[in-house]
Homo-oligomer: A and B are copies of this chain.
Amino acid sequence: MAFTDRSARARAAILAAAARRFAADGYEPTTVRAIAADAGVDPSMVIRYFTSKADLFYAVAAAELPRLEVPTGSDFAASYARSFVDVWENGGQALANLFRAAPTHPDAAQRLQDFLDRQLMPFFRAAFPDLPDIDQRAALVLSQTIGVIYCRYLLKLEPLASMSRETLQAAITGVIRRHLGEAA
């Protein structure tokens, strides 16, 4: 019992330290050693719990998407758009750094690809088990939301950057429904 608690606390401390480091310094300069020092644990414990720096990064990025759950109602598109805007209006710093670096760093682009493959595509497949072309549809949804990430949150291109949250969310909802079909 005490061990499990301690273990859960150590994992949480590592995740929090990693989130701060990845957000502040970016992925490349961040070391497992620095994260371990911040979290007050031995570097070997970071590897025992998270396998590698890359896997730790995915865990941090996944933790930035707290509401990435298949909605129980039928309003998938509205729910996904709301979650997306929530996350990005309130930070999403580790992912933001990855998107910022990706166009000039093939390694970062590869980690984004891994993140899509490990986290987002399985999520869409689980939500729409009956759509045979769900991978393509999900990719189109992502092209819209990633476009908003770049235009509004990273490049801050106007007038998208200062568009009201409500207008943006409604537009994204409509596009998600367009890409996913009636089922969404």
Q: Are A104 and B100 within 8 A (Cβ)?
A: yes
Question: How many copies of the chain does the oligomer comprise?
Answer: 2
Q: Is A175 an interface residue, CB under 8 A from the partner?
A: yes
What B residues does A158 contact at CB under 8 A?
113, 116, 139
Q: Which residues of B contact A145 (CB under 8 A)?
A: 147
A116 / chain B contacts, CB cutoff of 8 Å: 157-158
Residues of B within 8 A of A135 (CB): 159
Contact B146 A151 (CB under 8 A): yes
The residues of B that contact A109 with a CB separation of less than 8 Å are: 155-157
The answer to whether residues A152 and B143 also contact, given A104-B104, A157-B109 and a CB cut-off of 8 A, is: yes
Contacting residue for A103 out of B144, B150, B167, CB 8 A: B150
A99 to B99 Cα, complex, angstroms: 12
Chain B residue nearest in CB terms to A146: B147
